[in-house]
Amino acid sequence: MAVVGSILFAFYAVAAVVVMAMFGTDIWPLVIVGSIAFVGVQYKVGKWMALRSVGAEDLSEERAPDLHRRVESLSRDMGIEKPRLMIARMGVPNAFAVGRKGAGTVVVSEELLRTLDDAEVEGVLAHELAHIRNRDVVMMVLGQGVASIVAIVAQWAVLLTGDNDIADFFLAIIVGQLTQMLVMVFVFAISRYREYVADGDAADAIGSGEPLARALEKISSGAERRDTETDSQVNALCIFDDRGGLANLLSTHPPVEKRIERLRR
């Protein structure tokens, strides 16, 4: 975490130096304030879009009293405030958390509640509460913010040092995309590590890793029979993300088999 975090900070520092080289050193207060504002807006908008994209609705205590009692008990044991509970129809058994410690929201799918037993649901809830307690969502937004800022700076560097013709415009887009992907490789590395940490914290909270391991098996199996597509940004937040591609390098989650193996070990 220290190494990857340092690399992300180095990317940001290089971008800041480039901006000051282009516009002068007197602009550094604006660079800092602008970066904080950019990440803050990204955090607020990202949270709203994640909830909206799955059509999440408030899950009242009258509708699910047992679930609320379980979340309240886990939150108390884990030393955080009880988060807002919401429910959504995702087409697969899944769950995700957004927000920060003290202002978190946990979303569970209707399919998850139908598929898992009580102990397995508790394991999933403990995993999501661990993300909130550990401020993992905030950390991911910071990483994505750094990637976006570095990409924007790279694009402007190409435009300001070129001839400002159509070729430079397309080159700037390509350079920005490649730069952002390079930084996101390190953000994904943080995300995968935080999944392992949340799994371990959940196992500690409920006294065993077996319920969460069984839940992951059922969730993985349910994802193979999915009949709808979840937004890619939400996939990164969910307890299980089955996106393909270069799994070990560009995935937000570790392989589910390794997570299950660790939980049972």
Q: State the pLDDT at residue 37.
A: 84
83-120 per-position pLDDT tens digit: 999 999 988 899 999 988 888 999 999 999 999 999 99
DSSP state of 25: G
Q: By residue range, what is the domain housing residue 59? A: 2-264
Does residue 110 carry a catalytic annotation? no
Indicate which residue of 128, 217, 224, 257 is catalytic.
128
DSSP state of 104: E
In SS3 terms, 148-210 reads as: HHHHHHHHHHHHHHCCCCHHHHHHHHHHHHHHHHHHHHHHHHHHHHHHHHHHHHHHHHHCCCH
Alpha-carbon distance of 265 to 260, in angstroms, equals 9
Alpha-carbon distance of 186 to 188, in angstroms, equals 5
140-187 per-position pLDDT tens digit: 888 888 888 888 888 888 888 877 678 888 888 899 889 988 888 888
Q: Judge whether 104 and 238 are in contact, CB under 8 Å.
A: no
What's the farthest any 2 CA atoms get from each other in the chain?
Answer: 65
User: What is the arithmetic mean of pLDDT over 30-57?
Assistant: 83
Q: State the pLDDT at residue 5.
A: 73
Q: State the pLDDT at residue 80.
A: 93
Alpha-carbon distance of 191 to 245, in angstroms, equals 16
DSSP state of 257: H
> How far is the CA of 44 from the CAs of 69, 95, 130, 259, in angstroms?
28, 20, 21, 30
In the predicted model, is pLDDT for residue 215 greater than 90? Answer: yes
User: What is the arithmetic mean of pLDDT over 114-139?
Assistant: 93
Strands of the chain, DSSP E: 57-58, 84-88, 95-100, 103-109
Q: State the pLDDT at residue 78.
A: 93
pTM across the whole model: 0.83
9-21 per-position pLDDT tens digit: 888 888 888 887 7
Q: State the pLDDT at residue 95.
A: 93
What is the overall mean pLDDT for the chain? 85
How many distinct structural domains can be found in the chain?
1
Q: State the pLDDT at residue 105.
A: 94
Alpha-carbon distance of 111 to 64, in angstroms, equals 15
Q: Counting beta carbons within 10 angstroms of the beta carbon of residue 263, is it exposed (0 to 12), middle (13 to 18) or buried (19 or more)?
A: buried
Q: State the pLDDT at residue 247.
A: 56
